[in-house]
Structure 1
Amino acid sequence: MNDNKNQIEVKNVTATVRSHRPTDEGHIYVRAQAGRWQRLRKQMGWFFMLLFMVGPWLGWNGRQAILLDIEHQRFHIFGATIWPQDLTLLALLFMVAAFGLFFVTTFLGRVWCGYLCPQTVWTFIFIWFEEKIEGSANKRRQLDKAPWNVNKVWRKAAKHLCWLGFSLFTGFTFIAYFVPAQELALGLLTFSASFWAGFWVLFFAFCTYGNAGFMRTIMCTHMCPYSRFQSAMFDKDTYTVSYDAERGEQRGPRPRKKDPKALGLGDCIDCDLCVQVCPAGIDIRDGLQYECINCGACVDACDQTMERMGYAPGLISYTTEHKLRHKETHVARPKLIGYGVVMAVMLAAFAYLASNIMPMDMEVIRDRNQLYRETAEGLVENTYTLKLINKTMEPVTYQLGVEGLEQAEWIGPSEISIRAGEVLSLPVSLSVDPYLLSSPVQDITFVMTRQGVEPDDSKAAVRNESKFFSATR
């Protein structure tokens, strides 16, 4: 009698759950879910989002610690200043990030999408605003179906105001990485900011509002290329969120105290909670799908259901295809090792170049109007323009000279002070007695030496090769 009562209760619950599917006319009502994977996802999301928000306000030696100053063509990242001449570093950094993403995807599937992707993080934040203002998934569905009244108007208005406010703050924070944060904030508050600064803040605020508030998983499934080419990196040893069909089928409701095998059933009670908590609105029991972002919400929902039923957890879990087929999972495999090796090589190259960035630079430009000229004294003269760059954030004095033509007379300043971050064009000339030249074209090297630095310092001087032309004797 008690068993029949329990079975009726489970069937009624299942019927109720099925009548509240997560999707309704294309809109996904995501049910809130707790659990270890959701705690981890939220902690990581909040941590990196706070880093993003705090980043523009960090100071370093009297200036903004992270400032991508496109207007003046230099990137300040704490103590390092990256100039256009050093953009190889950024290329290497992007390559490290790309191969890092390939490595993680081959090993753990789309965990980037589920745990760290800004689209996912901001979408869950917007859903959090929905839950706090409009209520649970069922309440949000009922509110959308209800006629317009005072309750519906103020809840919808409050939600969109929160969305817009957070979007504006996001747009402001993003642009503050390119325009000094304090200058941008003061300009926006006093309406004295430039048109383009205000435009880009509003543009990225609009993108955030649209992407996280309305498009959500549409961005992932229709606009982000990652969901499309991820399958090329998956193999049978990749850890993905998967449903153990061998254990779960045949699905169906049952009394808690009955042995499911005696009823001809698997462990899945067909409660559909895994579908309701999915931000993409998919059913993981249908197999691996490109919409799945590996957020683990269905894993937590299923584990809690298994616990209530007295079954072992892991019906839905992070697992591999080989493990589901009772085969050995190979973690160290050629493709994963290959991605790891390339990533390590790129990272080593990045570290080497970053540690050897020169604090100054020099470019030598020859006079294009004539190769050489003869002076009234019978000397041969070549004219050059030296483009000198002080990459440091303090004024520095440099000594200029030339190697390979020691007999030449230097015409122009040989010692010059350059302000912090300044690019200076300096015309100079070299003149020499033609009888002292061994050939009509002679290799020379301009040397720019930083004063106040030990001569054996590898960053004390920078050299740039050029040519000295003269008439054939």
Structure 2
Amino acid sequence: MSDENVYVVGDETSLYQKRQKIFPKIVSGKFNNFRVLSAWLLLGLYYLMPWVTWNGQQAILFDLPARKFQIFGLTFWPQDFIFLTMLLIIAALALFFFTAVAGRLWCGYACPQTVWTEAFLWMERLVEGDRNKQIKLDKAPWSFRKVRLRFTKHVLWILFALFTGYTFVGYFTPIRELTESLWTLSFSGWEWFWILFYSFATWGNAGMLREQVCIYMCPYARFQSSMFDKDTLIIAYDEKRGEKRGARKKSLSKEEYQSEGLGDCIDCMQCVHVCPTGIDIRDGLQYECIACAACIDACDDVMEKMGYEKNLIRYTSENHDAGGELNPFRPKTIGYGLILMLMAAIFVLSVWMRTPLELDIIKDRNRLYLTNSEGFIVNIYKLRVLNKDQSEHTYKISVSGYDGIEYEGPQQVTLSPESTKEVPVRVAIDPYLLKSTSMDIEFQLESIDDKSIEVTQPASFIGPVQRRGR
């Protein structure tokens, strides 16, 4: 009993169950068409976007060595981390909203695991044929033909996976430079690592593991129920209409097969054969279901051939099954939707109103202050100026915020596109004008060629301890 490889002993089944291979059958229908369209769109965006240029630069480039992200003419720096935070919040809200409305819509139509698995299944069918041929080949003893087909399939998978990994790295290294290195295979160590790692992950997840990623590895399947309610759209089998299942002649009228105690389900198993996770939707809602709706298309096709009403398997909700109406617009979904739109609007406005200029002020910590030849109290600062724009700018430097303040340093600073420069400056104040040991002042930068680009940054001016009243 201690042997983990023993799956069944007597009437008991071990927790360690051997994987049953799943060979999804090709299905056609409106939901499959939508799923294929979604896959083509998402894969097309993934593979083509690195090649799109914007203002002479790669439109999307996450330049980690330079610590900047370029997205359609906008450059984001580590100081812009707030935008990434906002994007993550928007993504989470979108997941909550679409899950509350339509269940695992993300899993069935947009999840990378689903999209890439569809691509790998297409290549497998191209080489080995549809479900029946694949099952026959899998059961057949090893032969030259079987080795040839399996080898061809894996060659296609590996080439596609390598192209996927190469494209992935193209988002972090300019893809045209990466392509030049491709011809001589002169990638850097990290480029080799990520190309091979991402390729292996794609081949392993989409080609070998497939449904096991959704069933055992994906956390979303475990906590999705917390976002469901009785009005959430799910894919379900109409048990009242379908039961009792059973085969029958196509020529039988509805009254004839109902008189024999049969429902509309002819028990053809097509809904099971097309399921990418291998479940039987007639057993009720299961966490393995990724809501791809392949079973709906398969069942509708059978119902049409039999001359029966469609939608034996359909999108529904618990309340709808109980005789109520479909209700996608309810307080929870409206709340999610409003918050999602609000966050999206705030994000767009924040990016739109973002100033392409950053100013950091670093005070000299070796000397809090010093006294110059005129007896003025002097503080030394280092202004770190970051030009986030893709154009060169010259900025005027000034300081304010206290009576009698004097600025000592360059009046202007010129920065090339997407560059940083440190400017040492001094600020002096007559000690008789000081009212405390720490005063608030402000540094201002204003672009000379574009008055809309300006930034003000506060700083502290430190003076000596006051020993007498003013």
Q: TM-score range by the shorter chain?
A: over 0.9
Distance 1:24-1:247 versus aligned 2 partners, 3 A rule: farther
Matched, 1:443 2:461: no
C-alpha distance in 1, partners of 2:316/2:449?
60
User: What secondary structure, in the 3-state scheme, does the structure 1 residue paired with 2:449 have?
Assistant: coil
Q: Deviations over 1:134-157 (max 9, x none)?
A: 111111111122122221111111
The correspondence for 2:107, drawn from 113, 135, 139, is 113
Give the letter for the 2:400 counterpart: E
- 1:106 is displaced (CA, Å) by 0.8
Q: Which residue of 2 aligns with 1:8?
A: none
C-alpha distance in 2, partners of 1:373/1:242?
78
User: What secondary structure, in the 3-state scheme, does the structure 2 residue paired with 1:164 have?
Assistant: helix
The correspondence for 1:250, drawn from 213, 230, 244, is 244
Q: 363-372 or 162-171: which moved more? A: 363-372
- 1:328 is displaced (CA, Å) by 2.3
Give the letter for the 1:220 counterpart: C
User: What secondary structure, in the 3-state scheme, does the structure 2 residue paired with 1:201 have?
Assistant: helix
C-alpha distance in 2, partners of 1:179/1:25?
39
C-alpha distance in 2, partners of 1:187/1:398?
39
User: What secondary structure, in the 3-state scheme, does the structure 2 residue paired with 1:423 have?
Assistant: strand
Q: Which residue of 1 aligns with 2:458?
A: 465
Q: Which residue of 2 aligns with 1:200?
A: 194
Given that 1:38 and 1:296 are in contact with CA atoms closer than 8 Å, whether structure 2 keeps it comes out as yes
Give the letter for the 2:65 counterpart: E
User: What secondary structure, in the 3-state scheme, does the structure 2 residue paired with 1:87 have?
Assistant: helix
User: What secondary structure, in the 3-state scheme, does the structure 2 residue paired with 1:214 have?
Assistant: helix
C-alpha distance in 2, partners of 1:260/1:275?
23
Give the letter for the 1:72 counterpart: A
Q: 174-183 or 339-348: which moved more? A: 339-348
- 1:411 is displaced (CA, Å) by 2.3
Q: Which residue of 1 aligns with 2:65?
A: 71
C-alpha distance in 2, partners of 1:267/1:147?
40
Given that 2:316 and 2:326 are in contact with CA atoms closer than 8 Å, whether structure 1 keeps it comes out as no
Give the letter for the 2:301 counterpart: Q
The list of structure 1 runs, each at least 4 consecutive aligned residues, that deviate by more than 6 angstroms after superposition, is none
Q: Which residue of 1 aligns with 2:427?
A: 430
Q: 252-261 or 175-184: which moved more? A: 252-261
Give the letter for the 1:251 counterpart: R
Matched, 1:183 2:180: no
C-alpha distance in 1, partners of 2:326/2:128?
45
Q: Which residue of 1 aligns with 2:3?
A: none
Given that 2:377 and 2:463 are in contact with CA atoms closer than 8 Å, whether structure 1 keeps it comes out as yes
C-alpha distance in 2, partners of 1:198/1:188?
11
Q: Which residue of 2 aligns with 1:287?
A: 284
The correspondence for 2:315, drawn from 306, 318, 323, is 318
- 1:25 is displaced (CA, Å) by 5.4
Q: Which residue of 1 aligns with 2:327?
A: 330
Count of residues paired in the alignment: 447
Q: Which residue of 1 aligns with 2:371?
A: 374
Give the letter for the 1:467 counterpart: S
The correspondence for 2:77, drawn from 83, 88, 94, is 83
C-alpha distance in 2, partners of 1:406/1:425?
27
The correspondence for 1:416, drawn from 413, 429, 441, is 413
Given that 2:390 and 2:418 are in contact with CA atoms closer than 8 Å, whether structure 1 keeps it comes out as yes
User: What secondary structure, in the 3-state scheme, does the structure 1 residue paired with 2:340 have?
Assistant: helix
Q: Which residue of 1 aligns with 2:228?
A: 234
User: What secondary structure, in the 3-state scheme, does the structure 1 residue paired with 2:422 have?
Assistant: strand
- 1:406 is displaced (CA, Å) by 5.9
Q: 328-337 or 290-299: which moved more? A: 328-337
C-alpha distance in 2, partners of 1:403/1:381?
15
Q: Which residue of 1 aligns with 2:4?
A: none
C-alpha distance in 2, partners of 1:448/1:293?
54
RMSD (CA atoms): 1.5
C-alpha distance in 2, partners of 1:430/1:24?
75
Give the letter for the 1:464 counterpart: Q
Matched, 1:58 2:52: yes
Give the TM-score normalised by the residue count of structure 1.
0.92
Q: Which residue of 2 aligns with 1:383?
A: 380
C-alpha distance in 2, partners of 1:117/1:125?
13
C-alpha distance in 2, partners of 1:222/1:327?
34
Q: Deviations over 1:317-349 (max 9, x none)?
A: 111122222222322212212211221221122
Q: Which residue of 1 aligns with 2:7?
A: none
Matched, 1:155 2:152: no
C-alpha distance in 1, partners of 2:248/2:179?
60
Given that 1:361 and 1:388 are in contact with CA atoms closer than 8 Å, whether structure 2 keeps it comes out as yes
C-alpha distance in 1, partners of 2:374/2:30?
86
| Identity over aligned pairs, percent | 45
Structure 1 stretches lacking a partner, 5+ long: 1-22
C-alpha distance in 2, partners of 1:105/1:433?
65
C-alpha distance in 2, partners of 1:188/1:408?
59
Given that 1:188 and 1:198 are in contact with CA atoms closer than 8 Å, whether structure 2 keeps it comes out as no
Q: Deviations over 1:401-442 (max 9, x none)?
A: 101246333222121111211121221111232123343322
C-alpha distance in 2, partners of 1:357/1:284?
50
- 1:224 is displaced (CA, Å) by 1.0
Q: Which residue of 2 aligns with 1:392?
A: 389
Q: Deviations over 1:34-72 (max 9, x none)?
A: 111101100111011101111000001111001111211
Q: Deviations over 1:333-388 (max 9, x none)?
A: 12212211221221122122111111111011111112111123211110011111
Q: Deviations over 1:252-306 (max 9, x none)?
A: 0111122321211000000101000000000000000000011111001100111
Given that 2:393 and 2:449 are in contact with CA atoms closer than 8 Å, whether structure 1 keeps it comes out as no
Given that 2:378 and 2:426 are in contact with CA atoms closer than 8 Å, whether structure 1 keeps it comes out as yes
